[in-house]
Structure 1
Amino acid sequence: MAETLALLLLAHVLADFVLQPGRMALAKAGGHIGWMMAHIGVVGAVATVLLGVQTPQAAAWVAGLSLAHLGIDAAKVAIGARLSGIAAFVADQAAHLVTLGLVAGLAPQLWAQGLWAAHAPLWLPAAATVIAGAVLATRAGGFALGLLMRPWGEVGLDGLPGGGRIIGMLERGIIFVLILAGEPGGIGFLIAAKSVLRFGAVKEESRLSEYVIIGTLASFGWAMLTAIGTVMVLSSLPPLGIPDLSP
C-alpha cells in the first residue's frame, strides 16, 4: 500500500503544482470546462506513467481517481463564494489526499503490478515520497502562504521583486531537509537568523512586525508538518539511505 500511495502522491503534486500553469489554474477557478478537463487529463496521464499501468483493472482505478479529482475541483468552484482563500485551498488538498489514501488502501497492488515495479530499485517509492514532500513544502506552501497573507496584502516590506516568495521557498526547503536529516534543532538557528535579519526593518512598525511574524510562523509550521508527514510515509517504505546526522 505504501508504495502505491507514494507514487500516487507524487503524481498528484506534479499535476497540481508543477504541471499546472497559472493560466490553467485561473481558468479552472472560473469554471472553464475545457481547462478543467485538460487538467484532469494531466492528472490521469501522470499517474498512469508513474505507476506503469498495464492492466485494465489498474487503468480503471486511475480513471476513478481522475474522476474523483474532477469532482473535488468542481465542488471547489461551486462553493467558491462561500469558502475561499486558505480555507478552500486546505479543504481542496485534504480531499485529494483522502482520495489518494482510499485508492492506495483499496488497490494496494497498483504499484506492484505496474510496468516499473519489477525493474525499479527498491528505494524508488521512497525517493518519490521525498520529491512529493519537497514540492508540497516549497511550491504548495508558497500558494498556501500567499492565500493566508492575502487579506493583509497592503502590508509588506519593500525589497526585491519576488524576494519574499523566494525566501519563503528557501526557508521551507531548509526546514524540510533538516527534519529528514534528523537535525530539527537547526530550525531554531534558522528562526534566530531570520529574526536578526528582519529586526531592523520591522522593529518600529507593529503592523509590519505582526505581518512578518504571522508569515514566518505559518511558513515554518507548513514546512514542519509536511516534513513530518513525509517521514511517516517513509517509515513504511524500503529505506532511501538518507543518513541520520543526529549525534
Structure 2
Amino acid sequence: MTLFIKLLLAHLIGDFVLQPNSWVLHKESHKIKSKYLYLHIVLHLVVTMVLLWDLSYWPIALIIITSHYIIDLAKLYTTKYFSYKNIPFFIDQLLHVLVLYACAYYGDLWEHTLSLSERIAWPLVAGVVFVSFPAAIIMGKLLERMSDQIELDHESLPNAGKYIGIIERLFVLLFIILGKWEAIGLLITAKSVFRFNDLKEKNNRKLTEYILIGTLLSFGIAIVTGLIYVYL
C-alpha cells in the first residue's frame, strides 16, 4: 500500500502541482513536438524517484514514465474526437492510476485485486448509486406535472438543480451512515439560506412550493435509503 501511495502522490504532484496551464496549452497545440511534453515526463521521473528514494525501483519508474508518455500522447491526438473535452482527461487519469496500481502490486496483482473486490460494501455502493441519477429521474417523474406549471429560469445553469440534488442526497446518506443527524439539519438550513433571496426576489408562490416539495422529497429519499442501509 505504501508503494502505491507514493506512486500516486508522485503522479498528483507531477500532473497537477508542477504542471502549469501554459504547458498544457503548449502540448495541446504542438502535441508530439511540444518540448513541455518531454519536460513533463522527465519531471515525473524525478519526482517518482525522489519519493521512492530507492534506485532499485528504477524499472518501475521507467514503466511509469513510458506509459505516461504514451497515454498523454494518445490523449493529445484523440481529444478532437470527443464532444465533451473533459472525457479524455478522466480517461487519461484513470489509465495512469491503473498503471500505478499494476506497478505497485505487480507481484500479486490478481490476488490483490480479488481481495479488494471481496471487501467492497455492495449494499453501500447500491445506496450511493440509487441516490444519484436514479433518484433524480424518479423525482423528475414525480414532480413532472408540477414543473410544467413553473416558469423556467433561463439564467440558471443547465441541469444545476439535478446535480445539486444529487450532491445533497449523497451528503445526507453519508451523514446517516455516520450517525450525524444534526449535520442534515445544518444542510437544510444552509440550502434554505441560499434559496431565500431568490425566492424573495421572484415572489413566486408556485416556485416556492415546488422547491419546498422537491427539497423534502430529495431529503426523504436519501434518509429512507440511509435507514435501509443502516438497519437492514
Q: TM-score, normalised by structure 2?
A: 0.50
| Aligned match of 2:101 | 101
| Aligned match of 2:86 | 86
1:202 shift after superposition = 4.4
Q: Distance in 1 between matches of 2:11 and 2:186?
A: 30
Q: Distance in 2 between matches of 1:7 and 1:73?
A: 21
Name the structure where helix makes up a greater proportion of residues: 2
Q: Distance in 2 between matches of 1:11 and 1:183?
A: 35
Q: In the alignment, residue 192 of structure 1 is paired with which amino acid?
A: I
What is the SS of the residue equivalent to 2:19?
coil
1:198 aligns with 2:194: yes
Q: Deviations over 1:159-192 (max 9, x none)?
A: xxxxxxxxxxxx9xxx8xx99xx67767645643
The percent of aligned pairs where both chains have the same amino acid is 24
Distance 1:10-1:98 versus aligned 2 partners, 3 A rule = same
Instruction: Pick 1 or 2: higher relative contact order, CA cutoff 8 A, min separation 6.
Output: 1
Q: In the alignment, residue 67 of structure 1 is paired with which amino acid?
A: T
Note the residue ranges of structure 2 that are not aligned, 5 or more in a row: 109-154, 158-166, 208-232
The equivalences for 1:181-192 within 5 A come to 188=184, 191-192=187-188
- Max Rg structure: 2
Distance 1:196-1:65 versus aligned 2 partners, 3 A rule = same
Give the 4+ runs in structure 1 shifted more than 6 A: none
1:14 aligns with 2:10: no
Distance 1:188-1:20 versus aligned 2 partners, 3 A rule = farther
Q: Deviations over 1:173-228 (max 9, x none)?
A: xx8xx99xx6776764564354134214544599xxxxxxxxxxxxxxxxxxxxxx
What is the SS of the residue equivalent to 1:79?
helix
| Aligned match of 1:47 | 48
The equivalences for 1:1-247 within 5 A come to 2-30=1-29, 31=31, 32-55=33-56, 58-83=57-82, 84-106=84-106, 188=184, 191-203=187-199, 204=202
Q: Distance in 2 between matches of 1:41 and 1:14?
A: 13
Note the residue ranges of structure 1 that are not aligned, 5 or more in a row: 109-153, 157-170, 207-247
Distance 1:196-1:93 versus aligned 2 partners, 3 A rule = same
RMSD of aligned alpha carbons: 3.3
